[in-house]
Amino acid sequence: MSASLILLAFGLAADAFAVALGQGGVARQNPLRHALIVGLAFGLAQAIAPLIGWALGQLFADMIASFDHWIAFILLAIVGGKMIYEGFKKDPPGEESDPGKERPARGWVLITLAIAVSIDAAAAGITLPALDAPVVVSVITIGLVTFAMSFLGVMIGRAGAGAIGSQAEIVGGLVLIVIGAKVLIDHRAFG
């Protein structure tokens, strides 16, 4: 398992971690159960999404082989930039709506959140061949890292540390940009 894959998994899990922090902040009853449910939903979605992206990338591999490294760089830079932007535009702690009125996501709302935090992972799935990462190992790694970070996010959010949510997105965005640059540099130097 490569360092790039681990970094990619943690970078992609940053959105899920940030959302899980918020979920933990409103989980009034059974926080452990809610952490498991959120972790499973987000981890499963994050594992399936790059598999879809990888499959689409394989369909068009012959057409994009000469510039796939540029696609990987651009996609990861866009996703990373979006995460950084969203991390900076979050409301400061204490200025959000009344937290007592919020409830943890369940059912379709939780599924929608899981899909929303995994869209970036689908785009990153296209880049898996450029990272020379086996797809099965990649999706399992991404899913497990996301599960663990989401579970921890709910538990930390429950403990009242929701203020680090936007910083997690910023760091995750920077990690994705660095991975994209590494793919581009490796291809230019060795490809």
- pLDDT tens figures, 75-107: 778 877 877 887 787 655 544 444 444 566 678
Q: What is the pTM of this model?
A: 0.68
Contact 176, 43 (CB under 8 A): no
Q: pLDDT value at position 37? A: 92
Domain residue limits at 97: 3-190
Could you give the count of Cα atoms lying within 13 Å of 170 in the half-sphere of its Cβ? Answer: 9
The mean-pLDDT minimum among 2-11, 28-37, 97-106 falls in 97-106
Exposure string for 113-135, b = 16+ CB within 10 A, e = fewer: bbeebbebbbbbbbbbbbbebeb
- Most confident region among 11-20, 136-145, 154-163 by mean pLDDT: 136-145
Contact 127, 71 (CB under 8 A): yes
Of 55 and 66, the structure prediction assigns the larger pLDDT to 55
Closest CA to 50 of 115, 135, 111, 109: 135
Contact 89, 19 (CB under 8 A): no
Q: pLDDT value at position 97? A: 44
The mean-pLDDT minimum among 28-42, 46-60, 138-152, 157-171 falls in 157-171
Question: Structurally, how many domains does the chain consist of?
Answer: 1
Name the band, by pLDDT with cuts 50, 70 and 90, for residue 27: low
CA distance 110 to 187: 39
Of 175 and 95, the structure prediction assigns the larger pLDDT to 175
Name the band, by pLDDT with cuts 50, 70 and 90, for residue 154: confident
Q: pLDDT value at position 101? A: 44
Q: Is the dihedral of CA 97, 93, 82, 136 positive or negative?
A: negative
Is 110's pLDDT higher than 90?
A: no
Residues 6+ apart with CB under 8 A from 114: 41, 42, 44, 45
Of 87 and 56, the structure prediction assigns the larger pLDDT to 56
